[in-house]
Structure 1
């Protein structure tokens, strides 16, 4: 039988949560404040059926 590995201490858990939160915030800011939604591409016609795959 293998021994169970020790769990993270409270300080290590808090550090991991803070690191993940900082990474999520930085990833969310990657687009930047000047982002504008691009215009839709022009279409000639629409079809009633499903798009071919």
Structure 2
């Protein structure tokens, strides 16, 4: 299953954090980091791709 769809289902309230982590096959703390990596709005992801790479870890 596409991770983006699972995360979207979680953000819409269809899955609990535990269910989301279980479907993705990850631990709870990893879920929090993964959610930070997936922007809320797909249009935001496109704009982030056009940003300069300065300041990245």
Q: Whose helix fraction is larger, Structure 1's or Structure 2's?
A: 2
More contact order relative to length (CA 8 Å, sep ≥ 6):
2
TM-score normalised according to structure 1 size: 0.28
Is the radius of gyration larger for structure 1 or structure 2? Answer: 1
TM-score normalised according to structure 2 size: 0.26
